[in-house]
Structure 1
Amino acid sequence: MSEVFKALTLDLDDTLWPVWPTIARAEQQVHQWLQAHAPRTAAHFDVAALRQVRHVVGQAHPEQAHDLAWLRQTSLVWALREAGDDEALAPAAFEVFMAERQRVVLYPDALAALQALSARWPLFALTNGNADLARIGLADYFVGGLSAKVFGQGKPAPAIFHAACELLQLAPHQVLHVGDDWALDIEGACGAGLAAAWVCRPGHPTKPADASARPWFEGADLADLVRALGAG
């Protein structure tokens, strides 16, 4: 069955690395930077309060939900202005976040899986997040990628899956999408006509009781997927 796949699209966050420890470190780095460069903002907003600002900005601008960078920068502008600091500091503060956000710690199975899979198929990154594969050091395993920010829509919209297939010059049924999020990755891919591989690591959310999608693969990590594809 795996022989029908001509390429794989891969989710990044929580598929190749755990994202929330990385985000937490990055947010803490931003707050420390604010303490040095915008002390009134740091005093007025702790890390949790800055998250709440971002949540409020997101609710006010649902049309920007696909652009996490815009939401973070806009939130920083709002917080700086509210505290009486220079809002022009927002881009530098955001770059502090982005630099730390790229310092991911791969799951133990991820690198070997990327090596095995990329030796057999073109790999294409498909993400709603703002990870930078070049800065992370993984770009050589991928032939390309598409983010929600660049495309203007995120998963589970069928359009972003179809755009990835077009860039790969393949039909949807020739592509296997690999991801961890049932709604975004599995329902999204299956709804767009791709096959789906669900990587549900221990401790991650389980399948919804009303799940209707039928993934080609379900397993606990990428090593399981490599074996299922006969790429090990």
Structure 2
Amino acid sequence: MSASVIDITRVRAVTLDLDDTLWPIWPTITRAEGVLLQWLGEHAPATATLYSDTAALRAIRNQMVSLRPDLRHDLSALRRESIRLALTQAGDDAALAEPAFDVFFSERQRVELFEDAHPALAFVSQRYPVVAVSNGNADVHRVGIGHYFKASISAQEFGVAKPDPRIFHAAASAMGVEPHEVLHVGDDATLDALAAITAGMQAVWLNPAQQAWPHDTPPHATVASLTELCRLLDDPAAPFPPASSQ
């Protein structure tokens, strides 16, 4: 695959993925599931016994994707309804799903940002309007980074998820620019980079693990960290190792 072909002169705005782009998501989810399980032990002991570990909680949440495909874009609703199903199966009060989810959701917002996230967000947001585009249910304001963003568009609020071009186009509209004037940054090769390219944007693939690029159409640039992203935006001629192709 060729080296960076990004055209910084076209960029008038930036969109950013959240989970696994600004912070690692699975440590956060695992901790939130642990807090949920502890809460169930106190308030719904039969459910806590039936679903005795975080793996079981995650399994029923994944099962809900099949049971309620209409909620596929809404991770909060999927989690809430999976808790409701677990309560029902265990014979506990299904109404406990609401406070149980609130406990989970509050802990889910306690993310640990990558070390370079705050400096990178400050750097980018001083130069461009920035909009978060996420399939997840993180709240940038509760996380504590809302001041860097002009807007935040989540799949659950917008009604469709990445890779649908409409969510990218909505982000461009929120910043008053055309899609080709937007640079999208994210860690997922398909849902972020390729999807943004399909939506008419330039794309930077955040690839710290140096994985092989899985598609025919390459991203406009590949970086290993948010610090490298800032260097790229500051000096697009700076060399970065390109992602290898399959």
TM-score (norm 2): 0.90
1:186 alignment partner AA: A
Q: Distance in 2 between matches of 1:145 and 1:133?
A: 7
2:147 aligns with: 140
Label 1:42 to 1:115 Cα distance change in 2 as closer, same or farther (>3 A). Answer: same
1:29 alignment partner AA: V
Select which of 83, 90, 93 maps to 1:86. Answer: 93
Q: Quick check: 1:200–1:206 contact (8 Å CA) kept in 2?
A: no
Select which of 198, 204, 218 maps to 2:205. Answer: 198
Q: Distance in 1 between matches of 2:136 and 2:211?
A: 19
1:176 aligns with: 183
Identity over aligned pairs, percent: 48
Q: Quick check: 2:135–2:156 contact (8 Å CA) kept in 1?
A: yes
Listed one character per residue, the Cα deviations across residues 139-187 of structure 1 (whole Å, up to 9, x for unaligned) are 0000001000011111011111111111211111000000000010011
Select which of 21, 46, 55 maps to 1:15. Answer: 21
SS at match of 1:197: strand
Shift, 1:231, TM fit: 7.3
> How does 1:77-156 map onto structure 2 within 5 Å?
77-156=84-163
Structure 1 unpaired stretches of 5+? none
SS at match of 2:19: coil
SS at match of 1:29: helix
Listed one character per residue, the Cα deviations across residues 13-64 of structure 1 (whole Å, up to 9, x for unaligned) are 0000000000000000000000001000000112211211111111122221
SS at match of 1:229: helix
Label 1:115 to 1:231 Cα distance change in 2 as closer, same or farther (>3 A). Answer: farther
2:219 aligns with: 215
2:220 alignment partner AA: W
Q: Distance in 1 between matches of 2:10 and 2:64?
A: 44
Structure 2 unpaired stretches of 5+? 1-6, 237-246
Q: Distance in 2 between matches of 1:231 and 1:97?
A: 42
Q: Distance in 2 between matches of 1:231 and 1:140?
A: 25
2:62 aligns with: 55
1:227 aligns with: 231
Q: Quick check: 2:140–2:152 contact (8 Å CA) kept in 1?
A: no
Matched residues, number: 229
Q: Distance in 2 between matches of 1:212 and 1:108?
A: 32
Q: Distance in 2 between matches of 1:146 and 1:6?
A: 18
Select which of 16, 30, 33 maps to 1:24. Answer: 30
1:67 aligns with: 74
Listed one character per residue, the Cα deviations across residues 97-147 of structure 1 (whole Å, up to 9, x for unaligned) are 111111111111111100111110011000000001111110000000100
Q: Quick check: 1:116–1:231 contact (8 Å CA) kept in 2?
A: no
Q: Quick check: 1:124–1:142 contact (8 Å CA) kept in 2?
A: yes
1:35 aligns with: 41
> How does 1:162-173 map onto structure 2 within 5 Å?
162-173=169-180
Shift, 1:11, TM fit: 0.1
Q: Distance in 1 between matches of 2:180 and 2:198?
A: 11
Q: Distance in 2 between matches of 1:102 and 1:169?
A: 29
